[in-house]
Copies of this chain bind each other. A is one copy, B any other.
C-alpha cells in the first residue's frame, strides 16, 4: 500500500509509520502556515481532521486523539492526527516526548481503517 491513502486537488493524507495509528494531512501546495491557506483549504483540512479523528475513535477505541502541526523542519502545512492508547510507548507524553515504556500495543488490522478513512474523505 502506498503511503498516501487519499488525495484530492487540495490535500493529501499520508501514513506515518509508527506503533500507533498515525495519519498526516498535507496541503498539495507548499504553504508555510495554516493562516496563509485560503478559507476553502482551511475548511478542507478541518473536515479531514474531523473525519480521521472520528474513524480512529470508532475503529481503534483509542483513549485519546492527539493533533499537531509543527513544520519546523519542513515549513509546509501538515497536520498529524494520532490515536493514543494508555499503554502506547509514550502515553501520557506526546509522541515527541520521552518514551515511557516498551511497546505492548495489540491493534486490529490497519488496512480496513485506511480504507474507511479514504472512503469518508471522498465525500469532502
A102 to B79, CA, bound (A): 28
A30, CB-defined interface residue at 8 Å = no
**Contact between A72 and B68, CB atoms less than 8 A apart:** no
**Contact between B69 and A66, CB atoms less than 8 A apart:** yes
Closest Cβ of chain B: how far from A70's Cβ, in Å? 5
**Contact between B50 and A73, CB atoms less than 8 A apart:** no
A59, CB-defined interface residue at 8 Å = no
**Contact between A92 and B68, CB atoms less than 8 A apart:** no
Question: For residue A33, which residue of chain B has the nearest CB?
Answer: B65
Interface stretch of the complex, out of A20-28, A93-101, A111-119: A93-101
Digitize A67-82: 1 where CB-to-B-CB distance is under 8 Å, 0 elsewhere: 1111111010001000
A12, CB-defined interface residue at 8 Å = no
Q: Can you offer 20 A-B residue contacts whose CB atoms are under 8 A? A: A32-B64, A33-B57, A33-B64, A34-B53, A34-B65, A35-B54, A35-B57, A35-B65, A46-B46, A63-B72, A64-B72, A66-B70, A68-B70, A68-B94, A70-B84, A72-B92, A94-B94, A94-B96, A96-B97, A97-B97
